[in-house]
């Protein structure tokens, strides 16, 4: 049967609407484009038509602003900015919407911001808004659609299209009877834009120095280079086989605020730290073969927070903004709505099934993201009993720190948050100005250690390093009174890195023959860096997070461990500006703005970086932008930059990782993880344990080995020429 290929790309008028700074034009074009996609689907059959929907690039377009559920997409954020004027949830980093009047941001109170010609405000004045540098999605269905997986170079699209219909150079593609993989699985995954922005940075722990690299290598100028790269990627995809075994271990690694633009910028920065241009770098998380997109909204919020999202990916149930471990029937700040609305995390279910469980975080372990794994609270901010209002105490609600110790028997707890565990009169062991925060005089650290065998508590790196994993079944390490320090500012002699904490946790947890569940969060400090408007803090945290992902992969096996990397939400962080290959990721654009001043490629739609100096936008140079404390400019002044509302990526590998596909609700993550390990409510999953490594190759079907044979031969032939 022949294969008809329908390739649908982003409409040019979507692009033009963004360049004009008029989001309404761009988005209404995108709606019409989606109707065309639907019509193409109606007129073709998935049995013989490969349909691919993608984009060529993105734009420096953002939407966020703490908007409630159902807020008009072109409407206002619910709160005014720090200049006491309203702002729209949609903004651009640069473009014609830049508007300063008499030395202040333009007041849109009397402006019809719903008009089809309204230009959203921008941080930098340009007569044409620029493209963005982050990855874009590929959606595919039909014959061989499963070959679209993971993170790929953009030229890979053409290779799959040609292979699917046996066109040159794949005229010797295998006959249909050898194609054992499902060809009708809908997929959505991110794509590495090899033709877009690339940067270079030589980086140290406390300072970093931009460095310019060559724009491109000679080998990249040859079609041979890209064809070989495409064929190799295709061969990998053809060999990809779903792991249908039961997961013994579960690892969920969360990058707080790690949206797609953050991931792409992190990839570039990590490469530049190694002395490379950056774009061609592959993050550890990007080696995960299965990928999906996660819809992050809360039940009551268009722009989510870390509490409602944590409840979704931990417990499998979407929740309200600011609540942890509760269904959407609960109301924030109302303690009496807690009872009867509790939802259970996969971590708790894993412990009940006899697995060891752990939490590792770079923020306080009572933070919203880890809290949803063990606590049920109508307010994410009820860290200690001193944070509980009187009515909550009277109604019987417990603070999150108390629940950390008493709700679930957690084997490993590593992060910050000492102050919430100690009585108020108890001095902090490290800082003379700090004491505990508890009013009930409870020492929760002592309570946690009580009746536990082989349990240890540490608060500094020296004691942490001395912990013998073989002799330790329980470990609590709290290295700061509240959040740990940013990676860029971490004292390497007193505080362990995220990677070191992950390694220690896995070595302790993996002793359990029943397996383990580990939740890892660095998102807290990625998130905080973005909120502070300091991209260097966010991106260096993300680089360390990726190192932790790599370390977790080294210590576990894909045969029996389902590993998932994702984010809870994104930020209104962008990078664009038509920069050349080798431009520092946090450096300047090669063009000058319409006000005859320079601007950085990385920017925020809103945040503390909004500046007016002598009635106009301040100039910036390479020295200023390279400083660790530099705030990227923003279109709207806020003391804390906001989350973004767009989808985030899910990267997965290991048993049942192929179930992560397409576009899913964020709550889907918990369901896949529970199913993969046959935990409640999927105890009847009927999945068999993974075979021992020595027998793994014997279990490969012969059809899988035959599938890529002709492709491999053609690849070898090409390499020999």
Contacts of 483 (CB under 8 A, 6+ apart): 362, 363, 364, 367, 416, 417, 524, 525, 528
Please check whether residue 634 is in contact with residue 603, taking contact to mean a CB–CB distance below 8 angstroms. Answer: yes
DSSP for 435-485 reads B--BSS---HHHHHHTT-TTEEEE-SHHHHHH--GGG-SEEEEE-SSSSPP
Which H or E element spans position 235? helix 223-239
Please check whether residue 640 is in contact with residue 310, taking contact to mean a CB–CB distance below 8 angstroms. Answer: no
Catalytic residue (one of 89, 261, 306, 589): 306
Determine whether 377 is an active site residue: no
User: Other CB atoms closer than 10 Å to residue 433's CB: what's the count?
Assistant: 7
Please check whether residue 588 is in contact with residue 202, taking contact to mean a CB–CB distance below 8 angstroms. Answer: no
Nearest to 533 by CA among 592, 580, 586: 586
Distance CA 252, CA 548 (A): 12
Residue 414, classed as helix, strand or coil, is strand
**How far is C-alpha 5 from the chain's CA centre?**
32
Binding site for Mg(2+): what residues are annotated? 256, 367, 369, 521
Which H or E element spans position 458? strand 455-458
Please check whether residue 111 is in contact with residue 118, taking contact to mean a CB–CB distance below 8 angstroms. Answer: yes
What percentage of the chain's residues is helix, strand, coil (to nearest 5)?
30, 20, 50
Binding site for Zn(2+): what residues are annotated? 256, 527, 531, 568-569, 643
Beta pairing partners, 52: 7, 140
Nearest to 517 by CA among 349, 315, 366, 344: 349
Please check whether residue 603 is in contact with residue 94, taking contact to mean a CB–CB distance below 8 angstroms. Answer: yes
Distance CA 116, CA 120 (A): 11
Contacts of 393 (CB under 8 A, 6+ apart): 385
Please check whether residue 243 is in contact with residue 288, taking contact to mean a CB–CB distance below 8 angstroms. Answer: no
Binding site: what residues are annotated? 256, 367, 369, 521, 527, 531, 568-569, 643
- Taken as a whole, the chain contains a residue count of 721
Tell me which residues are annotated as active site.
Answer: 306
């Amino acid at each position: 049967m022949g294969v008809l290929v329908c390739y649908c790309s982003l409409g040019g008028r979507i692009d033009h609407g963004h360049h004009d700074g008029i989001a309404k034009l761009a988005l209404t074009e995108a709606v019409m484009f989606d109707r065309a996609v639907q019509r193409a689907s109606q007129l073709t059959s998935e049995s013989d038509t490969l349909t691919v929907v993608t984009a060529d690039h993105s734009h420096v377009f953002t939407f966020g602003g703490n908007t409630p559920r159902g807020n008009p997409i072109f409407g206002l954020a619910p709160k005014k900015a720090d200049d006491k004027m309203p702002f729209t949830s949609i903004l651009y980093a640069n473009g014609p919407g830049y508007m300063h009047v008499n030395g202040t941001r333009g007041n849109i109170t009397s402006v019809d911001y719903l008009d089809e010609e309204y230009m959203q405000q921008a941080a930098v004045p340009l007569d044409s808004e620029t493209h963005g540098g982050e990855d874009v999605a590929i959606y595919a269905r039909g014959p061989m659609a499963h070959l679209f997986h993971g993170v790929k170079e953009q030229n890979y699209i053409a290779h799959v299209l040609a292979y699917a219909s046996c066109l040159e150079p794949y005229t010797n593609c295998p006959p249909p009877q050898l194609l054992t993989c499902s060809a009708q699985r809908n997929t959505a995954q991110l794509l590495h834009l090899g033709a877009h922005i690339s940067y270079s940075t030589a980086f140290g722990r406390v300072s970093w120095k931009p460095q310019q690299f060559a724009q491109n290598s000679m080998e990249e100028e040859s079609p041979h280079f890209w064809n070989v790269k495409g064929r190799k990627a295709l061969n990998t995809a053809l060999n990809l086989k779903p792991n249908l075994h039961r997961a013994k271990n579960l690892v969920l690694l969360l990058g707080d605020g790690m949206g797609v633009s953050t991931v792409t910028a992190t990839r570039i920065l990590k490469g530049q730290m190694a002395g490379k241009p950056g774009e061609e770098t592959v993050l550890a998380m990007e080696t995960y073969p299965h990928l999906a997109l996660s819809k992050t909204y809360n039940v009551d919020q268009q722009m989510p927070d870390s509490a409602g999202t944590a409840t979704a990916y931990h417990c499998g149930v979407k929740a309200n903004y600011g609540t942890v471990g509760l269904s959407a029937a609960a109301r924030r700040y109302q303690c009496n709505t807690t009872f009867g609305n509790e939802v259970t995390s996969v971590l708790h279910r894993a412990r009940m099934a006899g697995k060891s469980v752990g939490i590792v975080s770079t923020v306080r372990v009572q933070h919203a993201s880890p809290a949803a794994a063990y606590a049920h609270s109508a307010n994410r901010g009820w860290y200690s009993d001193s944070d509980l209002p009187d009515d909550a105490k009277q109604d019987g609600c417990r603070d999150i720190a108390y629940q950390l110790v008493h709700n679930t028997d957690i084997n490993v707890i590593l992060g910050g948050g000492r102050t919430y565990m100690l009585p108020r009169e108890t001095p902090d062991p490290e800082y003379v100005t700090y004491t505990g925060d508890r009013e009930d005089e409870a020492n929760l650290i002592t309570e946690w250690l009580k009746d536990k065998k082989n349990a240890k508590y540490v608060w500094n790196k020296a004691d942490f390093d001395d912990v013998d994993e073989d002799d330790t079944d329980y470990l609590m390490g709290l290295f700061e009174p509240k959040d740990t320090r940013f990676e860029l500012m971490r004292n390497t002699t007193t505080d362990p890195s995220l990677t070191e904490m992950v390694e220690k946790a896995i070595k302790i947890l993996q002793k359990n023959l029943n397996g383990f569940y580990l939740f890892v969060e660095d998102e807290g400090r990625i998130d905080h860096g973005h909120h502070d408007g300091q991209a260097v803090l966010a991106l260096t945290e993300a680089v360390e997070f990726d190192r932790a992902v790599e370390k977790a992969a080294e210590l576990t096996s894909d045969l029996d461990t389902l590993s998932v990397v994702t984010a809870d939400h994104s930020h209104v962080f962008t990078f664009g500006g038509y920069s050349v290959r080798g431009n520092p990721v946090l450096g300047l654009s090669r063009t000058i703005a319409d006000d005859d001043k320079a601007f950085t490629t990385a920017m925020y739609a809103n945040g503390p970086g909004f500046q007016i100096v002598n009635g106009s936008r301040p100039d910036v140079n390479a020295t200023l932008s390279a400083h660790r404390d530099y705030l990227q400019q923003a279109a709207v002044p806020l003391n804390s930059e906001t989350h973004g509302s767009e989808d985030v990526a899910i990267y997965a590998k290991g048993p049942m990782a192929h179930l992560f596909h397409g576009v899913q609700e964020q709550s889907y993550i918990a369901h896949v993880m529970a199913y993969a390990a046959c935990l409640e409510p999927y105890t009847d999953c009927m999945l068999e344990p993974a075979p021992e490594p020595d027998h793994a190759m014997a279990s490969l079907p012969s059809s899988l080995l035959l599938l890529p044979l002709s492709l491999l031969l053609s690849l070898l032939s090409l390499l020999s020429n």
